[in-house]
């Protein structure tokens, strides 16, 4: 199946821990994103990578560090987790060079910090 | 002014009627516009994209774009209970970022 996939689907952890979320797309897209959707359901962009290069870095605490080993993968590492980090994190990808600009989302990772 | 604005709803529409969802955006140079549907606990799913002024139809869905008024809408004809979801308007802005509105909750009444 061509898609954007994320692991894990659920993540429950204690405050202060470090955790990672992985994302992969097999759509051949050149740009990948991390979005955060909070309890009020607002979808906010966090980071964007184009061909492994960071191109968007919104006002996000530096406890969040994205890493893109290749253009099909974009991982998110979070250090020293806080209660306010609880949210659903979505990975997405888009082919920016085609002009079509349609963006597709992964299934999401629900992070709960206790 | 927020970049992409939508009425949060809920919008209640009887089954079989037309649901009309509206969105305004602030970046006048935006060229690409999208509607996503998000069911509770699921990821946003792209249902329509529109790039030119006018109407674009796909099945029961019609997207309408008016760049002069900076206005995008989505019409859903013959609404079904399965259309009950949150609809997110999204706009590609001048910084090449896709910015989302807060979404409109649509409830189709059986």
Q: What is the pLDDT of residues A44-100, one digit of tens each?
A: 999 999 888 888 888 789 999 999 999 899 999 999 999 999 999 999 999 887 777
Residue A35 pLDDT grade (very low, low, confident, very high; cuts 50, 70, 90): very high
Mean pLDDT of B81-86: 96
Q: What is the DSSP string of A20-84?
A: EEEEEE-S--SEEEEEEE-TT--EEEEEEEETTEEEEE-S--TTEEEEEEETTEEEEEE-S--GG
B42 and A108 within 8 Å at the Cβ level: the answer is yes
Q: What is the pLDDT of residue A51?
A: 83
The highest-confidence range among A13-22, A51-60, B2-11, by mean pLDDT, is: A13-22
Q: What is the pLDDT of residue A96?
A: 83
| Contact indicator for B86, B105 with CB cutoff of 8 Å | yes
User: Of the candidates B46, B100, B103, which has its C-beta nearest A102's C-beta?
Assistant: B46
Chain A positions touching B89 (Cβ under 8 A) are none
Mean pLDDT of A4-26: 97
Over 90: is that where the pLDDT of B61 sits? yes
Mean pLDDT of B21-41: 95
Mean pLDDT of B5-19: 95
Omega of the bond prior to B10 within 30 degrees of 0, cis?
A: yes
Q: Which of A20, A92, A18 is nearest to A50 (CA)?
A: A92
Q: What is the pLDDT of residue A53?
A: 85
Name the residue of chain A whose CA is nearest to B105's CA.
Answer: A41
| Alpha carbon distance B29, B90 (integer Å) | 14
A104 and B46 within 8 Å at the Cβ level: the answer is yes
Q: What is the pLDDT of residue B97?
A: 87
Q: What is the pLDDT of residue A56?
A: 80
Q: Which of A57, A55, A46 is nearest to A23 (CA)?
A: A46
A105 and B96 within 8 Å at the Cβ level: the answer is no
Q: What is the DSSP string of B14-76?
A: ETTS-EEEEEEES-TT--EEEEEEE-TTS--EEEEEE-SSEEEEETTEEEEEETTTTEEEEEE
Contacts 24+ apart (CB under 8 A), B39-46: B39/B85, B39/B86, B40/B85, B40/B86, B42/A107, B42/A108, B43/A90, B43/A105, B43/A106, B43/A107, B43/A108, B44/A43, B44/A90, B44/A105, B44/B88, B44/B100, B45/A105, B46/A102, B46/A103, B46/A104
Over 90: is that where the pLDDT of B6 sits? yes
Mean pLDDT of B49-72: 96
Residue B9 pLDDT grade (very low, low, confident, very high; cuts 50, 70, 90): confident
Q: What is the pLDDT of residue A99?
A: 75
Mean pLDDT of B68-85: 97
| Percent with pLDDT over 90 in chain B | 86
Q: What is the pLDDT of residue B70?
A: 95
User: Of the candidates A43, A45, A48, which has its C-beta nearest B88's C-beta?
Assistant: A43
Mean pLDDT of B75-82: 97
Over 90: is that where the pLDDT of A12 sits? yes
């Amino acid at each position: 199946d061509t898609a954007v996939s994320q692991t894990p689907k659920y993540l429950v952890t204690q405050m202060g821990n470090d955790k990672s979320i992985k994302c992969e797309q097999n759509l051949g897209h050149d740009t990948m994103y991390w979005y955060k959707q909070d309890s009020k359901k607002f979808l906010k962009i966090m980071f964007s990578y184009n061909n492994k290069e960071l191109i968007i870095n919104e006002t996000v605490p530096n406890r969040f560090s994205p890493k893109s080993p290749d253009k099909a993968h974009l991982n998110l590492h979070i250090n020293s987790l806080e209660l306010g980090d609880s949210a659903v994190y979505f990975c997405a990808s888009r082919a920016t060079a085609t002009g079509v600009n349609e963006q597709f989302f992964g299934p999401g990772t629900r992070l709960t910090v206790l | 002014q927020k970049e992409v604005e939508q009425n949060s709803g809920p919008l209640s529409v009887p089954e079989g009627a037309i649901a009309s969802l509206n969105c305004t955006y602030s970046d006048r140079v935006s060229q690409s516009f999208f509607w996503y549907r998000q069911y509770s606990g699921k990821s946003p799913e792209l249902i329509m994209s529109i790039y030119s002024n006018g109407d674009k139809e796909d099945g029961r869905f019609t997207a309408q774009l008016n760049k002069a008024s900076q206005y995008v809408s989505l019409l859903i004809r013959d609404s079904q209970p399965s259309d009950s979801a949150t609809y997110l308007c999204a706009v590609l802005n001048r910084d090449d970022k896709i910015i989302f509105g807060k979404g409109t909750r649509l409830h189709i009444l059986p």
